[in-house]
Chain A
Amino acid sequence: MSNEGAKLIATALAIGLGVIGPGIGIGIVAGAAVEALGRNPDAESLIRTYMILGIAFTEALAIFALVIALLIRFL
């Protein structure tokens, strides 16, 4: 395998494996938010705020994987 090909595979693996965890995590966060909304529909705005914050924290992990992928690809 050429050097360039190995780099491409490493990039794809880094981002592909890296988003598995955050994907599951965002699903859990959104699911829990919908459940909380079903129990207490009056607290919608508060739940939405915390859901978006939770999603942002989870998504940050995927962003780390993306940064690593970019570093492999362009550096």
Chain B
Amino acid sequence: MIHISLKSETIFSIFGFPITNSLIVSVIVLLLFFVCAYYYSYLIKNSIKNKFFTIFNLMVKSIYNFFKSIFESQIDYFFPLLGAFFFFILIHNELGLFPGIGSILIKVTHEHGTKFAPLFRGGTTDLNTTIALALITVVFAQYIGIKTLGFKEYSKKFINFSNPMLFFTALMETVSEFSRIISYSFRLYGNIFAGEMIISIMAFLFPVLLSFPFLLLEIFIGFIQAIVFSMLSAVFYNLAMQKAHN
């Protein structure tokens, strides 16, 4: 039976702070993301463009136009965050499919004894990463709502005593705000984790080439989920900026 672990495993700890295998990959992704972004911004000012710039520019442009259809004139305020969401999740999802991620095992000692754990694990296959992303989205939506509507107007969405019907819709609104944290994080985590698991199970069912079509599907799903997460956040911000019903 294949070993499937729902949570990431601690590889080592620094001053009592556990460093898990998905955290290592997240840090790698962060550095990769930083280098790519810095190089891209360097090439914008430079007059000589290369292939990297062309490909990256095409992606950034199409994502920009995609969000422009949602935000229209406010796009320049929101794009840095949403674009960062998109590229961060995209790099995470695609890096998780690389050879070596999840297949290099190292020996880990902890209080229950020694066992083998994968050295790398895709960042979005760990619930901690996706919950962190979902929290950023939800907290930023509250901020943007208060900023555009003012605190008094914004809180009318959640607390409203003017009539019983509005009171219950406001209550539902409050619950849905919290349930977004769960739905955003589990959607991303579930999709990516289930995909990686399906690939490994297929490799066990029939070892030669059967997992290959699923690998292609996973590349596509990783891209779709990155779009879905950032687009849902965009719609959520748009909703937060609208006034409460009267």
Chain A positions within 8 Å of B, measured between CB atoms, are: 52-53, 56-57, 59-60, 63-64, 66-67, 70-71, 74-75
* Known contacts A63-B194, A66-B194, A74-B4: A56-B186 contact under CB 8 Å: no
Main SS class of interface, A:
helix
* Known contacts A63-B194, A66-B194, A71-B6: A56-B189 contact under CB 8 Å: no
B interface residue count range (under 10 / 10 to 19 / 20 to 34 / 35 or more): 10 to 19
B227 touches A (CB below 8 Å)? yes
Q: Mark B229-242, 1 if CB is under 8 A from A, else 0.
A: 00100000000000
B102 touches A (CB below 8 Å)? no
* A63 and B184 alpha carbons, distance in the complex (Å): 12
Cβ of B77 to closest chain A Cβ, rounded Å = 23
Main SS class of interface, B:
helix
Q: How many inter-chain residue pairs (CB < 8 Å) link A and B?
A: 41
Q: Which residues of A contact B190 (CB under 8 A)?
A: 60, 63-64, 66-67
In B217-234, the 8 Å CB interface with A consists of 224-225, 227-228, 231
Cβ of B107 to closest chain A Cβ, rounded Å = 22
* A64 and B184 alpha carbons, distance in the complex (Å): 11
